[in-house]
Amino acid sequence: MVLALVAIVGLGLVAYSYLVYPLVLLGLAGLVQVWRDARYVYARRTRRRKGMQELPAVGIVISAFNEERDIGARIENLLSLDYPPGLLRIYVGSDGSSDGTERVIRGCTDPRVACRAFAENRGKSSVLNDLVAEVKEPLVVFSDANSAFDRQALVDLVAPFEDPRVGCVSGELRLSGGGGDNQDSLYWRFEQFLKFCEARIGGLLGANGAIYAIRRNLWQPLRSDTICDDFTIAMGVAAAGHRLVYRPDAIAREVTPAGIGEEYRRRVRIGIGNFQALVRHPEYLFGTSGIMAFTYLSHKVLRWIAPHLLLLSLAASAILSLSSSAWFAFTLAQLACYGLAGMAFLASGRAGIMLPGPLRVPAFLFALNWAFLVASARFAAGRYRGGWQRSER
């Protein structure tokens, strides 16, 4: 009985996180919208803000390592934004780069750009700590060297800070390219849908590292080996009792890698950061609102431990199959699904075979969950560091 419960609950929790939770979330978001519509009709007050009376000064922080290819265009992109020049300052730090990154940033003569070239490579979090310490502006905007903001992105990003309860605003990252087997852009659209619904019910989790902002006085220095700095910074603001807001019209753009193998390596590193946050910051689950605890557990925690739950269910099913033909068939079905998805992943990631459309999503999901499994083992063994890992995204 216990083994049967383990087998069923393990699969059930994974199915809940990937399939049931989005439907529950959509229903809750719909109820919230209906309640807001009813309140609007009853009170006859506008729901839309007129926008900020005066734009605030912002400091944009970019931590870079070996970004010679992109950093020049990135600085030009930020300088060309539709934002008052006197209210914009850009802080760029080169983390001991071994290419021409330092030369490029030092070649920028615009007085709005403050450049720091660090001789030693210490990791992104350490550079962020040093750069934010120099920021005097009331709002700090974080982004990446390989992203690009739309011209109005900054104006849209800072608008919600008119509400003093708002501590962090996340923009939207739009991915392009990736014509191969990597289904990250498809998965990302699904994640954007969840983010939109979570924001509507007050359960937004983290921020898009390519474009988000916090109030300067809410900054908490990062531990030097922090990997998912964007998630940690934003969730720290939420755990301190401030609102996280999603602003989908504040748009940053990046190119997604075409190869599923490249995406797998990126996911392993992110996965280590996920388990790092889970273990180090129990306040994300127990020190936030009930809604945020619900979304964090359903969307994040269960996703991170999904491969462990699947393996636990498979092991329980295999033991039960020794005395039951039904459980034997169920075990074979699980093995067949995992085996086919795994072979699709290996064919794409190792052999470079272009998969047919129907096989790309299973291959990506296998890569995602295998990455989480590998990440958990590396985190438990301490086989990671907070430095950089180059990828196409």
HEC string of 330-351? HHHHHHHHHHHHHHHHHHHHCC
- Strands 166-176, 139-143: parallel, antiparallel or unpaired by DSSP? unpaired
Over residues 240-291, the pLDDT tens digits come to 999 999 999 999 998 866 566 677 888 899 999 999 999 999 999 999 999 9
Q: What is the mean pLDDT of residues 225-240?
A: 96
Distance CA 350, CA 221 (A): 39
143 or 347, which is more confident? 143
pLDDT tens digits for range 334-360: 999 999 999 988 887 665 677 777 778
Q: How far apart are CA 124 and CA 229, in angstroms?
A: 8
Backbone dihedral region for residue 382 (phi beyond 0: left; psi -120 to 50: alpha; all else: beta):
left
Residue-wise pLDDT for 158-217, tens only, equals 999 999 999 999 999 988 765 444 445 677 788 889 999 999 999 999 999 999 999 999
Cβ distance 223 to 265 under 8 Å? no
Average of per-residue pLDDT across 90-102:
94
Residues 343/359, Cβ–Cβ less than 8 Å: no
Taking CA 222 as the corner, what is the angle to CA 234 and CA 78, rounded to the nearest 5 degrees?
Answer: 60
Q: Under a CB-based contact definition with an 8 Å cutoff, are residues 103 and 205 in contact?
A: no
Kindly state the average pLDDT of the residues 26-51: 77
Query: Which whole number is the average pLDDT over 139-161?
Result: 97
More confident site: 262 or 7: 7
- Listed residue (186, 344, 177) closest to 258, CA to CA: 177
Distance of alpha carbon 59 from its chain centroid, rounded? 22
E strands, the chain, where? 58-64, 88-95, 113-118, 139-143, 148-149, 166-176, 212-215, 243-255
Structure tokens that stand for 7 in this block? 């087998």
Q: In this structure, how many other beta carbons lie within 10 angstroms of the beta carbon of residue 91?
A: 24
Cα–Cα distances in Å, from 23 out to 19, 103, 185? 7, 51, 21
pLDDT confidence of residue 35: 87
Q: Which pLDDT belongs to residue 261?
A: 66
Q: Which domains does the chain have, with CATH numbers?
A: 58-284 (3.90.550.10)
Q: What is the pLDDT of residue 68?
A: 93
Q: What is the pLDDT of residue 296?
A: 98
pLDDT at 364: 86
> What is the pLDDT at residue 182?
46
**Which of 234-238's residues contact partners 24+ apart within 8 Å by CB, and which partners?**
234/168, 234/170, 234/205, 234/206, 234/207, 235/205, 235/206, 235/277, 235/281, 235/284, 235/288, 236/281, 237/167, 237/168, 238/167, 238/168, 238/204, 238/284, 238/288, 238/292
Using the predicted structure, report yes or no on whether residue 122 has a pLDDT greater than 60: yes
Please say whether the dihedral angle defined by the alpha carbons of residues 345, 349, 353 and 355, taken in this order, is positive or negative: positive
What span, in angstroms and rounded, lies between the C-alpha atoms of 224 and 18? 33
Torsion angles phi and psi, residue 249, rounded to 5: -85, -5
User: Which residues, other chains included, contact 300 with Cβ-Cβ below 8 Å and sequence gap of 6+?
Assistant: 205, 274
Q: What is the spatial distance between Cα 254 and Cα 354, in angstroms, rounded to a whole number?
A: 23
- The pLDDT of 92-103, averaged and rounded, is 93
Supply the pLDDT for residue 388.
58
